[in-house]
């Protein structure tokens, strides 16, 4: 049967706990580590360093984050333009109606993947390379292999009007990723194994279902081999699952995402999305906020450091009136510092230094 969550009190606002030990000052969560989380709130694009908010000037929202030699690189959107920041300096990217979705740094080169009003693309040091130009397509992920090859993950709409998950290598050299028969799919994240050779993608597929019509299913791909991630339940109230972030720690593969439930007709607060991650093929449901008509939250990205699993995303019940940016440390929910406002806030990506 589907689980029920009983909320006895309003959840307190759990800011990132400080650390009184001088040795760990600035690293209050994982000693010896600095945790960067990127996203947005009522004040616009921002990132958090060990829980303290840093504004990204002129940005509406930020989507991904990388730190190299102490410099913070973030991607996002300002107005109608894709952009990225190096620390607090913003660089706008060419193209109409663009959004920057992911960022990677290789030596002195900065890569941003995203999309425009006429298709998907990536930018290298501000120079645009089109991936598609004549159809619906979006790029959400980018990674640089240790030999310098550039891989971008996303989707495109084919001539039969199927949404096809795919990756591009070094420009418009596109390869499809497998989906179920008569199904669709999208790629949202990419990572490499520790040797830097093998690629892993995270996303979801959709296929016809006799009960739910067209059901989403969380998936990951190793090169071009798809693994459907288990639902973890046989409850027919589960509409589907999805995944947004992926990372590798040793031989373990972690994927962040959600479950999506069909609500009870007589109870508005039983459906919606619930945060989850998978370690290899084992699902781990995460604590959410109070049940609402939207569920309790969603996981967007994940990293592992020194045996600690850190997941970022959104949860209900935080400092905003909607869903609030948050992180989970080994399954424990904490909300992030926020510019208080009526609109929701969200954590999209994480980097652990």
DSSP class per residue in 23-53: GGTT-SSSTT--EEEEEEETTEEEEEETTEE
Q: Residues 284-299: what's their mean pLDDT? A: 94
Q: Is 241 left (phi over 0), alpha (psi -120 to 50) or beta?
A: beta
Among the listed residues 291, 352, 306, the one whose alpha carbon sits nearest the alpha carbon of residue 327: 352
Determine the Cα–Cα distance for residues 69 and 111; give it in Å rounded to an integer.
Answer: 17
- Mean of the per-residue pLDDT values for the chain? 89
Per-residue pLDDT for 264 more than 80? no
Least confident stretch, 94-108, 179-193, 255-269: 255-269
pLDDT at 20: 32
pLDDT at position 236, please?
79
CB neighbours (10 Å) of residue 238?
A: 19
Domain at 22-352, CATH from 2.40.50, 1.10.10, 3.30.420, 2.130.10: 2.130.10
pLDDT of the residue at 337: 85
> Cα separation of 185 and 80, whole Å?
26
Sign of CA pseudo-dihedral 160, 161, 167, 168: positive
Predicted pLDDT of residue 208: 79
Predicted local distance difference test score (pLDDT) of residue 122: 98
313 or 339, which is more confident: 313
Interatomic CA distance for residues 176 and 337, integer angstroms: 40
Closest to 203 in 3D by CA, of 255, 136, 160 = 255
**The predicted structure's pLDDT at residue 267:** 65
What band does 268 get if pLDDT is binned at 50, 70 and 90? low
**What is the reported pLDDT for 306?**
96
Q: Where are the domains of the chain?
A: 22-352
* pLDDT tops 60 at residue 15: no
Question: pLDDT confidence of 172, banded at 50, 70, 90?
Answer: confident
Judge contact between 106 and 132, C-beta under 8 A: no
pLDDT of residue 26: 43
Distance CA(221)–CA(217), nearest Å, equals 13
- Residue 17 pLDDT grade (very low, low, confident, very high; cuts 50, 70, 90): very low
- What pLDDT score was predicted for residue 265? 61
pLDDT at 16 over 50: no
pLDDT surpassing 80 at residue 307 = yes
Tell me the CA distances in angstroms from 152 to 35, 237, 314, 327, 344, one per residue in order.
Answer: 25, 35, 25, 26, 29
The predicted structure's pLDDT at residue 160: 77
Taking only the tens place, the pLDDT of each residue in 61-117 is 999 999 999 999 999 999 999 999 999 999 999 999 999 999 999 999 999 999 999
- Is a pLDDT exceeding 70 seen at residue 324? yes
**69 against 28, higher pLDDT:** 69
pLDDT digits (tens, 9 = 90+) for 117-132: 989 999 999 999 999 9
Residue-level pLDDT at 33: 95
- pLDDT tens for 226-235 read 999 999 888 8
Residues 6+ apart with CB under 8 A from 279: 252, 253, 254, 309
**3 has a pLDDT exceeding 50:** no
Q: Alpha-carbon distance 341 to 257, whole Å?
A: 26
What is the mean predicted confidence (pLDDT) over 294-321? 95
Task: Give the per-residue pLDDT at 194.
Answer: 83
Lowest mean pLDDT across 135-144, 251-260, 312-321, 333-342: 333-342
**Does 260 score more than 50 pLDDT?**
yes
- pLDDT tens by residue, 335-345: 998 877 778 99
Instruction: Give the pLDDT confidence score for residue 263 in this predicted structure.
Output: 65
DSSP for 90-141, written as a single string:
EEE-SSTT-EEEEEEEETTEEEEEEEETTEEEEEETTEEEES-SSS-EEEEE
Say which DSSP state 1 is in. Answer: -
């Amino acid at each position: 049967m589907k689980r029920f969550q009983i909320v006895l009190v309003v959840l307190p606002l759990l800011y990132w706990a400080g650390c009184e030990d001088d040795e760990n000052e600035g690293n209050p969560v994982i000693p010896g580590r600095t945790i960067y989380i990127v996203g947005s709130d009522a004040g616009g694009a921002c990132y958090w360093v060990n829980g303290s908010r840093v504004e990204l000037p002129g940005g509406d929202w930020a989507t991904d984050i990388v730190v190299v030699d102490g410099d913070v690189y973030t991607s996002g959107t300002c107005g109608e333009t894709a952009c990225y920041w190096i620390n607090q300096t913003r660089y706008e990217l060419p193209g109409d109606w663009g959004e920057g979705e992911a960022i990677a740094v290789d030596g002195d080169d900065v890569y941003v993947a995203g999309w425009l009003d006429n298709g998907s693309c990536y930018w290298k040091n501000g120079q645009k390379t089109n991936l598609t130009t004549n159809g619906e397509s979006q790029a959400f992920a980018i990674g640089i292999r240790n030999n310098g090859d550039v891989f971008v993950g996303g989707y495109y709409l084919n001539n039969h009007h199927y949404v096809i998950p795919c990756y591009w290598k070094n420009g418009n050299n596109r390869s499809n990723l497998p989906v179920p028969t008569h199904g669709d799919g999208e790629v949202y994240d990419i990572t490499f194994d520790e040797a830097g050779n093998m690629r892993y993608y995270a996303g979801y597929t959709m296929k016809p279902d006799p009960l739910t019509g067209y059901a989403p299913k969380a998936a990951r791909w190793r090169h071009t081999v798809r693994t459907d991630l288990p639902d973890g339940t046989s409850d027919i109230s589960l509409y589907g699952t999805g995944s947004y972030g992926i990372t590798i720690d040793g031989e373990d593969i972690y994927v962040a995402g959600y479950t999506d439930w069909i609500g009870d007709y007589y109870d508005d607060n039983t459906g919606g999305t619930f945060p989850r991650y998978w370690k290899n093929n084992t699902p781990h449901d995460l604590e959410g906020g109070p049940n609402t008509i939207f569920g309790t939250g969603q996981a967007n990205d994940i990293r592992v450091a020194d045996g600690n699993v850190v997941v970022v995303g959104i949860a209900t019940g935080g400092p905003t009136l909607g869903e609030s940016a948050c992180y989970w440390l080994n399954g424990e929910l904490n909300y992030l510092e926020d510019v208080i406002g009526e609109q929701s806030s969200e954590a999209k990506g994480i980097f652990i230094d």
